[in-house]
């Protein structure tokens, strides 16, 4: 899976939730795993307190902080990058920031540099990234995505939050970003997820897993 050939334009799929839906990260991971059956996928996220290590049993020594530090100093090499990549259920992942305050180190410049590095030094076909709503220069970063998914729910309260988000995009001159967004209403909660096993396997064979697969099939039509 760890391919080191170069120069490919991978599709960048951004996922965001102005509603702060608890299933955002789980939806994104399951979508990445489904895509990973046919394509080379890299997943990473910019969510605060994501719980990723505990949820998915990841114990690696490197996280996105290490990538950003090397990127900002101009010292990120292909060899160092691959030290920061871990394998999980058929996809590659970079572990999220252990310290959520470090997310503030990622702005438009670092994001652009990172995607450029990926395209020049890896042959990933798809990048799936979870954006947190407090990420600096969020709209500018989302503009680099080829596809954007907004994870939400049905109901007036949630519609108000989404409306506020779309209005913010328009007022800040990011109408083109808004036009890329597909809303996904996810009618599930995380209350039945339990530890002591493979969370991805739990999700794959659940109603939620069926929902994510069906959604992908509909989008592929």
Tens of pLDDT, residue by residue, the chain (221 residues): 344 444 457 899 999 999 999 999 999 999 999 999 999 999 999 999 999 999 999 989 999 999 999 999 999 999 999 999 999 999 999 999 999 888 888 889 999 999 999 999 999 999 999 999 989 999 999 999 999 999 999 999 999 999 999 999 999 999 999 999 999 999 999 998 888 777 998 999 899 999 999 998 988 87
Residue 194, pLDDT score: 85
- Among 195, 192, 190, residue whose Cα is nearest residue 57: 195
pLDDT value of position 3: 42
Distance CA 132, CA 151 (A): 12
What domains, with CATH codes, occur in the chain? 11-211 (3.40.50.300)
Give, in degrees to the nearest 5, the angle at Cα 195 between 189 and 199: 65
Give the pLDDT score at 66.
95
Residue 155 CB contacts under 8 Å (≥ 6 apart), including other chains: none
Element (H, E) at 137: none
> What pLDDT does residue 151 have?
98
pLDDT score, position 221: 76
- Strands 91-94, 85-88: pairing kind: antiparallel
Cβ-Cβ contacts under 8 Å for 116 (sequence gap 6 or more): none
Q: From CA 5, how far away is CA 148, in angstroms rounded?
A: 27
pLDDT of residue 5: 46
């Amino acid at each position: 899976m760890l391919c080191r050939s170069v120069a490919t334009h991978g599709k960048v799929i951004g996922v965001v939730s102005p509603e702060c839906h608890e299933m955002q990260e789980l939806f994104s991971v399951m979508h990445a795993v489904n895509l990973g059956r046919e394509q080379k996928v890299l997943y990473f996220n910019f969510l605060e307190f994501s719980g990723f290590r505990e949820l998915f049993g990841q114990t690696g020594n490197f996280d996105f902080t290490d990538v950003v530090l090397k990127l900002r100093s101009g010292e990120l090499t292909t060899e160092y990058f691959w030290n920061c990549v871990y394998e999980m259920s058929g996809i590659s992942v970079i572990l999220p920031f252990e310290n959520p305050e470090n997310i503030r180190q990622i702005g438009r410049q670092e994001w652009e540099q990172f995607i450029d590095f990926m395209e020049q030094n890896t042959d990933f076909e798809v990048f799936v990234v979870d954006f947190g709503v407090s990420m600096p220069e969020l709209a500018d970063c989302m503009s680099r995505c080829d596809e954007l998914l907004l994870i939400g729910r049905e109901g007036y309260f949630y519609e108000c939050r989404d409306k506020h988000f779309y209005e913010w995009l328009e007022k800040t001159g990011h109408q083109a970003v808004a036009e890329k967004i597909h809303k996904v209403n996810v009618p599930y909660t995380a209350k039945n997820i339990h530890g002591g096993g493979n969370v991805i396997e739990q999700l794959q064979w659940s109603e939620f897993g069926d929902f994510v697969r069906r959604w992908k099939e509909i989008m592929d039509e």
